[in-house]
Amino acid sequence: MKKATMLVSSFIVTTALAMPTVVSANDLHIANETQTNLSFMINNACSSDFAVVQARTIGMIPADAVNRACEYSPSNCTIAMHASDDCSGQLIGKFALDTSNGVTGVAANAQGYSISGNGFNLFVEGPTLKATR
């Protein structure tokens, strides 16, 4: 009886250790301080997992959408931001995302735009409108 108990215990521990570890992203918050809506392209396809982030708002991309969008490259998912609702507008910049750690790099492509990030927070600022008289 003692051998059977030890065998079962050993099997349970071995099975638990052999199970793959699933790393999950957190919700991604995007502060869009520009005058245009932002859409996102991943793997050369406009992402339906990432919603459009409206101008002058903070958008939240749910963790499950981040995981789906970055499933083929979870440690280095490159995401392009466009100034439009459908990825057809100007490329504003790109950011790299690790689904375990958040934003790992940013690059602004359009003059007058600034992109920064830390953890699962991304900040995008754009040129201001010129005052009209």
User: In this predicted structure, what is the pLDDT of residue 47?
Assistant: 87
Domain count, the chain: 1
- CATH code, domain with 105: 2.60.40
Residue 106: inside a domain, yes or no? Answer: yes
In whole numbers, what is the pLDDT of the chain averaged over residues?
Answer: 83
> Tens digit of pLDDT for each residue in 34-48?
999 999 998 888 988
With respect to residue 30, please indicate whether it lies within any of the assigned structural domains: yes
**Domain-located, residue 16:** no
Predicted TM-score (pTM) of the model is 0.76
Q: What pLDDT is attached to residue 48? A: 80
Average pLDDT over residues 5-18: 45
Q: Is the pLDDT confidence value at 96 over 50?
A: yes
Asked if residue 50 is part of any domain, the answer here is yes
Q: In what order do the strands lie in the sheet with 77-82?
A: 45-46, 39-42, 77-82, 91-98, 102-108
Is residue 42 in a domain?
Answer: yes
Structural domain containing residue 46: 24-125
